[in-house]
Amino acid sequence: MPDQRAEGEDKPDEADRGKLENVLLKVVQGAIRPRTATAYLEESLRSAIVSGDIPGGTALRQEAVAEVFGVSRMPVREAIRQLEAQGLVEFQPHKGAVVAAISAQDAADNWAIRKALECAALEYSIPGLREEDILRAEEGIAEMDSETDFSRLGLLNRRFHMTLYSRAEFPGMLQLIEKHLIASDRYIRFQLAALGRDKMAQDDHRAILAAAREGDAAGACRLLASHIEDAGRRLVERIRHLSSVRGQADAQMSNSKAPLE
């Protein structure tokens, strides 16, 4: 019979597959089944990933997931694509879908760089902002209010911020800011998946825009600094919590395998 593995997946190691199946069995037992198989898989896997039950670097073998959940591979593939859009899964050569590894140190570095660069850019940009820029930023906030797709929210968030910085006459600085905003997108999606849609901090965005409209560069920069600091702190705390939970689980597993004296 021909090999039925998904494209891009190497033959799985039996020990790795066994570990994945054990975790998935626990996920299935605690899951509440929604109306569709895809929604059931996506919600169950997302919950297990953001809780740390399925750690970063774990290969999500479609065959194993389908078998444990008792579904075909089609909803598995669709659920994994949705998790990729949320920044929780990435595709790697020869491994296929892998749970994205989220580093607290990388996240902290990204937010520190963003704070330094973006506050400077906003201060330079505000004196030159035009009414069309303010209106575009307002439209961005309205779009974020109604958007439910996490991958789109990251893009809209980036557009909102870059609109407010657009009149800073330092193209090199703006390129660096956009680079780090793009890098932070996966962290934003992870945070939204873990903590909920209401953590988009839209009130912060409105307050920053209001200060920019009034030409209050100092006030807008204070609000922006607080906005970035709060988001970064919550994210880093969440990642460290997951790492701690995972470490405790690994220690318990190691202890359970220790020989009796």
Angle (nearest 5°) at CA 211 between 209 and 217 = 115
What are 92's strand-pairing partners?
Answer: 96
| Across 127-150, average pLDDT | 94
In the block, tokens 């990388």 appear at 106
Task: Determine contact, residues 191/150, Cβ cutoff 8 Å.
Answer: no
Structure confidence at residue 217 (pLDDT): 98
| Across 198-204, average pLDDT | 81
Task: Determine contact, residues 83/42, Cβ cutoff 8 Å.
Answer: yes
What b/e sequence results for 17-55 when a residue is b if at least 16 CB atoms lie within 10 Å of its CB, and e otherwise?
bebbeebbeebbeebeeeeebbebbbbbbbbbbbebbbb
Residue of 234 and 171 predicted with greater confidence:
171
Helical (H) or strand (E) element with 89: strand 89-92
- CATH dotted code for 104-246: 1.20.120.530
Residue of 246 and 211 predicted with greater confidence:
211
pLDDT at 80 over 90: yes
> What is the domain partition of the chain in residue ranges?
14-99, 104-246
| Domain 14-99 in CATH 1.10.10.10 | yes
Residue 37 CA to residue 31 CA, distance in Å, equals 12
Task: Determine contact, residues 232/107, Cβ cutoff 8 Å.
Answer: yes
User: Rounded to two decimals, what is the model's pTM?
Assistant: 0.68
Tens of pLDDT, residues 154-168: 889 999 999 999 999
Q: Do domains 14-99 and 104-246 have the same CATH topology?
A: no
Residue 131 CA to residue 154 CA, distance in Å, equals 24
Structure confidence at residue 111 (pLDDT): 94
Task: Determine contact, residues 60/98, Cβ cutoff 8 Å.
Answer: yes
Tens of pLDDT, residues 29-74: 555 555 689 998 998 898 788 777 888 889 999 999 999 999 999 9
Structure confidence at residue 2 (pLDDT): 42
pLDDT at 3 over 60: no
Range with top average pLDDT, 44-48, 60-64, 184-188, 213-217: 213-217
